[in-house]
Structure 1
């Protein structure tokens, strides 16, 4: 890492959560020489976190832990935080942070599980003058960085197709709370949707349909639809949670079809042949850490203008479109 980037990083940051995602973040922060002040919830998860990382994690009610740090005096409570708790608690936990003087927050995806949660979270941040970003780490994959260069050289994306099929039967066996299962589209599938919109641009209009019901969401098991982005890029999607399937994104330019399946890999097709050629990637960071996480964390800490970082306001603005996609409705952006 360049010295100028390293010197711009804070010495300490608040890391809220003590589960696997927090463990992944702690590894990244350690590599950046940033000390995480870790606040967990249960004593058992705190103990597992310490065993995995060698770092102590607090436990107990979060307001009490935050107040205890504030009572220690200036500098004990960092003014930046990463929120890596379970999906159903993301919005509530993040919303309480500005009241404790925390003004910059990176919130694990999807930040909120419905429109009401998002509205309340956005209001909490705005009223305190705080800023937040949503952590969609797939934007920072080496495959995406390589694709960005190709798409720019080709003059931009013409159309994007994406598939957010989920292994619903395996997910149902995980024993997740009902709230997380019925909002799985937001909590997990939006990794794919967000990446597609990252390439296509913010949607202008879309038309969607859902059918059936899956073992994790009785309201929908098959999702199809099409739309257009504000930049004129056409969108189409399909997902089936009843039968087997996997994630995938395809971006078509004037010169190439770029295929992400899995998302961490990139294959190219040109006009010359139906053959697909795998692109060699500079993905040593994605091999060493959870893919995309190091680059995302580094950008949050030192380069907040990085276009791959997703501001909370932008994510909130697109949630009406996401809800239409999830529930089988048509949607158009306000004129």
Structure 2
């Protein structure tokens, strides 16, 4: 019988609780702060342990078969390594898994030593819009090129309830959603030229980014982001027949060859409305090995992606 350990008691953990309860899967929750655990307990009428993973792991009623780590950015790597050392064989950790290439290397090495599977939770891979676009692109004969934008709203981000660490690592912790989705469609870059200018008080790793390259599938791509100018996330996927546009990512629009009009595509988005978009299908793929499990990002692929992320921010 499946029994899941959910690590974390904040908003992301809350979204996973909704999914796990809907799936009727047995689970236990360990959080860190008393405030967040009490709020989660009250909202869902479930027991939640506070005090942190290391302190409360031995108090679990049953041995978990899988774990979902939905903590803050600061403790993702630490909690993943702890669970690997405790013998956990199946782990889904919230993106980006770790905040450095070295951190990802540590997780990969430990997972290999322990014979465990670790996946990085990039839930946009499981959006109804992304799943539909994947089907249509295959029918079109594949991609010919793609472009993306990961502009962040720098006028709003500093006012969010985030730590200095989270703000300093905003690119890795947030912008990589866009980059991961783009290369999920187009393949891993084999060549990439990157440029960075400027920085923000809260983000020293740059604020204007441009670049271009070619993927292992021989598909050309380009990107742009200016965090000090108007804009938003965007992904455009081009085939010889259609241009598929994600802006916002929850929706899918198409521009057909020979037309200037852009039309919205109707989606089967019931799960993305009922739950945080992509989260139900992602969790289902992780726990039940559905046909969408191939969409999960392995720790090996996540480690390779980090080299690309570091190239983009010139780290």
TM range (shorter): over 0.9
Q: Name the counterpart of 2:242.
A: 256
Q: Name the counterpart of 2:135.
A: 149
Q: Name the counterpart of 1:62.
A: 53
Segments of 5+ residues of structure 1 without an aligned counterpart are 1-9, 329-335
**Secondary structure class of the residue paired with 2:98:** coil
- Cα separation, 2, equivalents of 1:64 and 1:182: 29
**Residue of 81, 98, 107 corresponding to 1:95:** 81
- Does residue 12 (structure 1) correspond to residue 3 (structure 2)? The answer is yes
**Secondary structure class of the residue paired with 2:259:** coil
- Do the aligned partners of 2:92 and 2:121 also contact (CA within 8 Å) in 1? yes
- Cα separation, 1, equivalents of 2:138 and 2:184: 13
- Do the aligned partners of 2:3 and 2:63 also contact (CA within 8 Å) in 1? no
**Residue of 23, 30, 35 corresponding to 1:44:** 35
- Cα separation, 2, equivalents of 1:136 and 1:150: 21
Shift, 1:304, TM fit: 6.5
- Do the aligned partners of 2:188 and 2:215 also contact (CA within 8 Å) in 1? yes
- Does residue 119 (structure 1) correspond to residue 105 (structure 2)? The answer is yes
- Does residue 240 (structure 1) correspond to residue 226 (structure 2)? The answer is yes
Do the aligned partners of residues 112 and 230 (structure 1) sit closer, same or farther apart at CA in structure 2, a change above 3 Å counting? same
Number of corresponding residues = 314
CA-based RMSD: 1.3
- Do the aligned partners of 2:93 and 2:120 also contact (CA within 8 Å) in 1? yes
Q: In terms of mean alpha carbon deviation, does 215-224 or 76-85 score higher?
A: 215-224
TM-score (norm 1): 0.91
Q: Name the counterpart of 2:270.
A: 284
- Cα separation, 1, equivalents of 2:196 and 2:109: 31
Runs of 4+ displaced beyond 6 Å: none
**Residue of 149, 160, 167 corresponding to 2:146:** 160
Q: Name the counterpart of 1:5.
A: none
- Do the aligned partners of 2:209 and 2:226 also contact (CA within 8 Å) in 1? yes
- Cα separation, 2, equivalents of 1:260 and 1:282: 16
- Does residue 297 (structure 1) correspond to residue 283 (structure 2)? The answer is yes
Q: Name the counterpart of 2:25.
A: 34
- Does residue 316 (structure 1) correspond to residue 307 (structure 2)? The answer is no
Do the aligned partners of residues 11 and 127 (structure 1) sit closer, same or farther apart at CA in structure 2, a change above 3 Å counting? closer
- Do the aligned partners of 1:66 and 1:77 also contact (CA within 8 Å) in 2? no
- Does residue 186 (structure 1) correspond to residue 144 (structure 2)? The answer is no
**Residue of 119, 126, 132 corresponding to 1:140:** 126
- Cα separation, 1, equivalents of 2:294 and 2:142: 16
Shift, 1:43, TM fit: 0.9
Q: Name the counterpart of 1:84.
A: 70
- Cα separation, 2, equivalents of 1:68 and 1:99: 17
- Do the aligned partners of 1:79 and 1:101 also contact (CA within 8 Å) in 2? no
- Does residue 269 (structure 1) correspond to residue 255 (structure 2)? The answer is yes
Shift, 1:112, TM fit: 0.8
- Cα separation, 1, equivalents of 2:16 and 2:65: 17
Q: In terms of mean alpha carbon deviation, does 228-237 or 301-310 score higher?
A: 301-310
Shift, 1:175, TM fit: 4.1
- Cα separation, 1, equivalents of 2:279 and 2:201: 31
- Do the aligned partners of 2:196 and 2:314 also contact (CA within 8 Å) in 1? yes
- Cα separation, 1, equivalents of 2:174 and 2:233: 11
- Cα separation, 1, equivalents of 2:201 and 2:45: 38
TM-score (norm 2): 0.96
Q: Deviations over 1:292-331 (max 9, x none)?
A: 0000000001116722111111111221111101227xxx
Q: Deviations over 1:98-137 (max 9, x none)?
A: 2212110001011011111111121221111111111000
